[in-house]
Structure formats: C-alpha cells, structure tokens
Amino acid sequence: MESAATLLAEVEDRIAHACRVSERERSEVTLIAVSKTHPPEAVESLIEAGCRVFGENRVQEAQAKWPELRERYPGVQLHLVGQLQSNKADEAVALFDAIHSLDRPSLAQALARAMQKAGKAIPCFVQVNVGNEEQKGGCAIAELPGLLAEARTLEIPLAGLMCVPPLGIEPTPFFAFLDKLARDNGLEGRSMGMSGDFETAIVLGATHVRVGTALFGGRG
Ligand SMILES: *Cc1c(COP(=O)(O)O)cnc(C)c1O
C-alpha cells in the first residue's frame, strides 16, 4: 500500500499535467479528497500530506467522523458530495462548508430555512442529471433554469454546477455539456471528474474535482 503522501503526489502530478495542457493555473482547480468509507486515520494521513478539502457522501457518516477532525484541523474544509434528504438540511448546514447535491426545489427550500436558522450561508452546487438516468441524483436538464431561479430567490449562494456522468460511458461529452450549462447560466463552478477521469474534466473546465480511490486506495 502506497503512503498518503505518494498517492497525493501522483494525483497532484496528474492535475498539474492537465492544467499544463489546457493552459490553466493549478489554483483554478480545487482537489476534494472524497473520504467516504475511510477511517479518520486515513483522513489524517492525507491532511498531514497537505490535503485541505475533503468530501463525504453521507451526512450520518460525516457526523460520526468529522467533528473531532474539525476540532484538530480547523483549516480543513468539508464538502457534501452525495445526495441529501431535506430532513437532514439542518445537520448538513451545521457540518459542511459546501454542498454539491442541490437538485430539487424542496431541498432548496429546506436548505434556505436551515441556513437562515443557523445564520450561516453555505455555497451550493446544483447537481445536474446529465445522462438523464433514472434513479440518479441531480435535476433533469429541463428543470435546471427553474431550480436556479428558485435558489436565487431563496438567496442560496450558488457555487456552480455538479455532475456524475453515467458509469461505463466516455464522460467527455457530459463534462463539455456541464461546462456549457454553467457558462449559459453565468455560474463559475464546475464540480466534475473523479479518480478515473479528472484530467479530462480539468481540460473541459472543472473547478472542483472529487477524487476518492486515487487518494485513498480502494474502498473496503
Ligand atoms: C465516491 C464519489 C467520488 C469519488 O469517486 P472515486 O472514483 O473513488 O474517485 C466522487 N463523487 C461522488 C459524488 C462520489 O460519491
């Protein structure tokens, strides 16, 4: 098993290469280390290796794992990258620095209420179901303008768009499409790209890449 520092250096090399070929600055891309299923010790090794932004996909798991890490490493950020139930909005707002899975008006309303209650505004990415897949998080492409309008009315800070393209298909067209949707809607952020394809995502404009396996090794 390679050390956290080695794995991080390998991922950083891949990011640097993708930035170079697309004439982008490394500072334009945030690396989110997706630590779901991995124990706090694995997170700590990556923090010590220099990682500063982490992602979890379940509120419950993050609640169990992160309060202590947060206390010990106050400079570290935590993003929610997985689906969120409206009844967990308060917990999510308390725990996370950004949410990548805003995908329906009812959730926008719940988050707006939770943010108001907590007196804390959290940047949100609107997740788009770019492959038009059943059973997948993300708003339908046709519903994006309405959802963005709703989020703006509710004064939710919009960070950008997020997607998880269909598995097993070439992701390039989906990344290009998310980039276009972000541009058309005047949004800065593009949260796209995972362990297998983040270089392509960076070349196509990703501002946030969500990398699990390549940083932590396989999930047990
Ligand atoms: C697990 C997960 C990732 C990371 O996937 P890897 O292939 O392990 O890099 C990225 N985004 C989301 C939404 C995830 O749930």
Q: Class of 4-215 per CATH?
A: alpha beta
Q: Which sequence spans correspond to the domains of the chain?
A: 4-215
pLDDT digits (tens, 9 = 90+) for 144-186: 999 999 999 999 999 999 999 999 999 999 999 999 999 999 9
For residue 219, the model assigns a pLDDT of 57
pLDDT digits (tens, 9 = 90+) for 23-33: 999 999 999 99
* Whether residue 3 has pLDDT greater than 60: yes
**36-48 mean pLDDT:** 97
Does ligand 1 have an atom closer than 6 angstroms to the CB of 36?
Answer: yes
- What average pLDDT does the chain have? 97
Q: How far apart are CA 47 and CA 123, in angstroms?
A: 23
Closest ligand 1 atom to the C-alpha of 195?
A: 9
**Strands 98-102 vs 124-127: parallel, antiparallel or unpaired:** parallel
Closest ligand 1 atom to the C-alpha of 81?
A: 13
Q: How far apart are CA 54 and CA 4, in angstroms?
A: 14
Does ligand 1 have an atom closer than 6 angstroms to the CB of 34?
Answer: yes
For residue 217, the model assigns a pLDDT of 87
Write down the pTM of the prediction: 0.97
Does ligand 1 have an atom closer than 6 angstroms to the CB of 165?
Answer: no
For residue 135, the model assigns a pLDDT of 86
* Whether residue 57 has pLDDT greater than 70: yes
For residue 77, the model assigns a pLDDT of 98
Does ligand 1 have an atom closer than 6 angstroms to the CB of 181?
Answer: no
pLDDT band at 2 (very low <50, low <70, confident <90, very high): confident
**57-71 mean pLDDT:** 97
* Whether residue 45 has pLDDT greater than 60: yes
Coil/strand/helix, residue 34? strand
Does ligand 1 have an atom closer than 6 angstroms to the CB of 191?
Answer: no
| Ligand 1 centroid – CA 157 distance (Å) | 23
